[in-house]
Amino acid sequence: MSTPALRLDRAGLIFLALTLGAAALAPVFALLVPRDSAFAMPPYVVALIGKYLCYAILAVALDLVWGYCGILSLGHGAFFALGGYAMGMYLMRQIGARGVYANPILPDFMVFLNWKELPVAWWGFHSFAYASLMVMLVPGLLAFAFGWFAFRSRVTGVYLSIITQALTYALKLAFFRNDFGFGGNNGLTDFKDVLGFSVQSDATRAALFSISALALALAYLVSKAIVSSKYGKALIAVRDSESRVRFLGYRVENYKLFVFVVSAVMAGIAGALYVPQVGIINPSEFDPGNSIEAVIWVAVGGRGTLVGAALGAIAVNFAKTYFTGAFPEYWLFGLGGLFVLVTLFLPKGLLGLLNMRRAARPAAAPPSPAAQEEGVQ
């Protein structure tokens, strides 16, 4: 009956067409169309939307664990930031002798701190391949270690959310310290080039934009394949009735651990694409508020839909850019109000609203409000 081949619904196809279209067309509008044309895409728009795309990847990663497995992670920003730091370290070492202190090996902040040698953690980061590996490995390993203990001890629900929050907060404090060796309060910045291309140039920015759009499409496809498999069905079952799945003989802790690690790796990649586009990574990326904001994107877009999560990330950040410009002091109230309104009136998020307008087929298994609770006594 069900074939292993991936079957995409209408929303998924539209989403893929949009992301792939954006990847193909952005360089055309940013580079080839004359600047004074109405169709030209100014560099700041490229950077801005490129940033939204990275947030969208983070949202898809978060939706994978929250929407499909019921793990409400309030610390996913940590994996995003760790991926960002790994990329930032590569970019720092690319600066080389062009830094203020002109030290060919040590980044400026180390010279400033009077360090003589490169710390072990920084070894190998002159290589792009090594840095790319670390972008995935560091968040993946942290998620593995964290999940191993948390899921084995059957920490669930709000308790798990609290310790994910503590995790990202602890990392924030650690990265703030100068002697931790990652630039302290100021973080890593003043990047010059990536793989030999200047990070400031319009062409590099357009390329990063396209890569981010492709990565978003890929993250969607991987997530969709995971949730469409029998594994994904078991995952949804875990979300809705964890102990029932256990009585069927599934090792629930392994099921959770796998999806948590995949999601963390995805978040790490999003962070790595984000850093060269914004030009800085500092400990504020670990702020618990960032992780909570990511949860709001997913809720607003539509939990357990993947496409909705990406849509939510882009829509909320678009609103944020507008409102923080127009009425800076009211944005947080707006964000809070949005969350309340969506929870009350749009339990399936923006995507649910779109589906309702089409009023055709039933949406694919949206989680019921009580799904986080254990159904079995």
Q: Binding to other proteins by residue 367, rule CB under 8 A?
A: yes
Helices (H), 97-201: 108-112, 128-152, 157-176
Residue 82 has a CB neighbour count (10 Å cut-off) of 30
Selected from 215, 252, 294, 296, the binder of other proteins by CB under 8 A is: 252
Which is nearer to other proteins, 240 or 293 (by Cβ)?
Answer: 240
CB of 339 to other proteins, least distance (A): 24
CA 280 to chain centre: 16
Residue given tokens 């109230």 in the structure block: 333
CB of 159 to other proteins, least distance (A): 20
Handedness of CA 94, 99, 102, 103 (dihedral sign): negative
Selected from 196, 249, 328, 369, the binder of other proteins by CB under 8 A is: 249
Binding flags for other proteins, 257-296, as an x/- string (CB under 8 A):
-x--------------------------------------
**Touching other proteins, residues 199-228 (CB under 8 A):** 226
Distance CA 217, CA 213 (A): 6
Which is nearer to other proteins, 192 or 246 (by Cβ)?
Answer: 246
Residue 258 has a CB neighbour count (10 Å cut-off) of 16
Q: Binding to other proteins by residue 372, rule CB under 8 A?
A: no
CB of 235 to other proteins, least distance (A): 9
359: alpha, beta or left? (left if phi > 0; alpha if psi -120 to 50): left
Stretch near other proteins under the rule CB under 8 A, chosen from 212-220, 229-237, 291-299, 308-316: 229-237
Using alpha carbons, list the distances in angstroms from residue 142 to 81, 82, 174, 237. 12, 10, 15, 26
Q: Binding to other proteins by residue 18, rule CB under 8 A?
A: no
Selected from 19, 73, 165, 241, the binder of other proteins by CB under 8 A is: 241
Which is nearer to other proteins, 183 or 352 (by Cβ)?
Answer: 352
Which is nearer to other proteins, 21 or 375 (by Cβ)?
Answer: 375
CB of 313 to other proteins, least distance (A): 24
Q: Give the bridge partners for 193, in sequence order.
A: 198
Distance CA 363, CA 350 (A): 13
Distance CA 240, CA 45 (A): 41
Using alpha carbons, list the distances in angstroms from residue 121 to 90, 118, 138. 12, 8, 11
Distance CA 128, CA 181 (A): 20
Selected from 63, 108, 240, 293, the binder of other proteins by CB under 8 A is: 240
Binding residue count for other proteins, defined by CB under 8 A: 35
Stretch near other proteins under the rule CB under 8 A, chosen from 110-118, 253-261, 286-294, 318-326: 253-261
User: Which positions lie near other proteins, rule CB under 8 A?
Assistant: 1-4, 226, 229-231, 233-234, 236-237, 240-241, 243-252, 254-255, 258, 365-368, 371, 375-377
